[in-house]
Amino acid sequence: MRRWQMENTTMTTIRTTCERCGDVELTVRQVGLRLDADGTGGSYRFDCPFCGTLQCKPASRRVVSILLATGVAYEIVPVPGPITEEEIAAFAEALGRDDWISDLAPSDS
């Protein structure tokens, strides 16, 4: 008589909180992780399985370690540097134009 062994089909469950629905359970594929390039932390995001709202939450180094260990997909994002003098000058110049507000309004096309 042959014995058939089932593969380990245990699925990792990630428990977190939706701001609207409360506690939710997610699979590894339902969570995305963004890591700061400087290694200080990051954030994770998911669509709530109940209300569909996109949730973005900060992730400490500990949370990052746990999510990486479970196999959550991640991307590394650059950490923006401080605003430069040139950026401030360009912003001030743009505000001096009469049509600066049109740059903020969405176009109809």
DSSP 7: -
Task: Tell me the torsion sign for CA atoms 71, 72, 76, 79.
Answer: negative
The whole domain housing 62 covers: 14-100
pLDDT (tens digit, 9 = 90+) per residue, 10-45? Answer: 578 999 999 999 999 999 999 999 998 888 789 999
pLDDT (tens digit, 9 = 90+) per residue, 64-73? Answer: 999 999 999 9
Mean pLDDT across the chain? 85
Residue 9 resides in a domain: no
Residue 1 resides in a domain: no
Number of domains comprising the chain:
1
Return the closest-CA partner of residue 26 out of 48, 52, 54, 57. Answer: 48
55 pLDDT more than 80: yes
Residues in the chain: 109
Residue 86 resides in a domain: yes
pTM score of the predicted model: 0.64
